Amino acid sequence: MKAIVLTQYGSPDVLELKDIEKPTPSDGEILVKIHATSINDWDWCLVRGTPFYIRLLCGWRKPNIQIPGAEVAGRVEAVGPNVTHYQPGDVVYGDISECGFGGFAEYVCLPETALAPMPESMTFTEAAAIPHAAMLAIQGLIGHLQPGQKLLINGAGGGVGTLGVQIANAIGVKDVTGVDRASKFALMRSVGFTHTIDYTQTDFTEGQERYDVILDTKTNRSPFKYLPVLNPGGIYVTVGGLTPRLFQVLLFGPIIHWLTQKTVRLVNLQPNKDLAYVNDLWAAGQLKPAIEGPYSLREIPRLIQYFGAGQHQGKVVITPES
């Protein structure tokens, strides 16, 4: 099978498209023919070996993960012994970051518990754009956001933002501000943002508007910077960003809450936990991913660099058949 292989840390140019042996499912595993995958922060960080915790998790001097790729959508081709949930022909999708990655390939073997059934009306390209970003958005918003409140999403033009605004609308939140570069505004408005801010021109933390919830995908400021634009009892939630800032959220969160009664927290992602909720939103016509592509496997090195520069709109999707 063809796969994008990582043998050393570096720029995305270190990735190589190779022919490698097709895997065989072991006990409790399923072999999935991948019809679509997508690019995530995990891939951008894994290829470069930064920030430092990537090397703690994935190998200090060289990566112990051969094939990147955290999201897959495909069809079960074969099942190993003792598999009870799936049979050949079933269509599945999910985030496989806790199962060794492997999405940038034509096939992958996974525990049967690693994936979920795809809704019938969902295409493979759509399914590959949903699991990781949707889980971050759902786990950052559900339980914090109430109907009628005001929400701001920082880094709004990527996967988390474009799905997050739709999840907010489904909850009953219609006043949603998105912060990103102006080139993404048309897309952002099309998926439900009512207000847009160009971060290259305006610092929203110095503005007059106040928000009940801030969902941040960038986290490039001190957590104290967000407090003035949070309403009393407001919540700031980060799902990713600069490592030193994330540590500040963890360190100062309890102190901030004690002093101000405002909440500052970091989402501890639980992959695939809320895919059933995603399927319900999909069935109700309340969720649809914004997609760039699909592109081919051989374009992945260029696309990861493109992703890292923050130029992508929505999710960047790859189909091995392209």
pLDDT digits (tens, 9 = 90+) for 120-154: 899 999 999 999 999 999 999 999 999 999 999 99
pLDDT for the residue 322: 65
Task: Quote the CATH superfamily of domain 2-130+290-318.
Answer: Medium-chain alcohol dehydrogenases, catalytic domain (3.90.180.10)
Q: Do the beta carbons of residue 47 and residue 14 sit within 8 Å?
A: yes
- Binned at pLDDT 50, 70 and 90, residue 321 comes out as confident
pLDDT at 75 over 90: yes
- Binned at pLDDT 50, 70 and 90, residue 53 comes out as confident
Q: Do the beta carbons of residue 188 and residue 161 sit within 8 Å?
A: yes
- pTM of the entire structure? 0.95
pLDDT for the residue 290: 97
Other beta carbons less than 10 A from residue 32's beta carbon = 32
pLDDT for the residue 227: 97
Parts of the chain belonging to CATH 3.40.50.720: 133-266
Q: If you compute the radius of gyration of the chain from its CA atoms, what whole number of angstroms results?
A: 20
Give the separation between CA 2 and CA 108, rounded to whole angstroms.
Answer: 11
Measured CA to CA in angstroms, residue 270 lies from 13, 137, 138, 145 at distances of: 31, 11, 10, 19
Parts of the chain belonging to CATH 3.90.180.10: 2-130+290-318
**Angle between helix 275-283 and helix 159-171 axes, rounded to 10 deg:** 70
**CATH code for 133-266?**
3.40.50.720
Phi-psi category of residue 313: left, alpha or beta, with phi > 0 → left and psi -120 to 50 → alpha = beta
pLDDT for the residue 35: 98
Q: What is the mean pLDDT of residues 74-91?
A: 97
Other beta carbons less than 10 A from residue 53's beta carbon = 10
Distance of CA 82 to the CA centre of its chain: 31
pLDDT for the residue 29: 97
Coil, helix or strand at residue 31: strand
Tell me the per-residue pLDDT of 204-225, one tens digit each, with 9 for 90 and over.
Answer: 999 999 999 999 999 999 999 9
pLDDT for the residue 139: 97
pLDDT for the residue 135: 97
pLDDT at 23 over 70: yes
pLDDT for the residue 105: 98
Q: What is the mean pLDDT of residues 290-313?
A: 96
pLDDT at 107 over 80: yes
pLDDT at 242 over 80: yes
Its sign, for the CA torsion 240, 245, 246, 249, is negative
Give the separation between CA 86 and CA 217, rounded to whole angstroms.
Answer: 35
Candidates 47, 106, 79, 60; CA nearest to 306 is 47
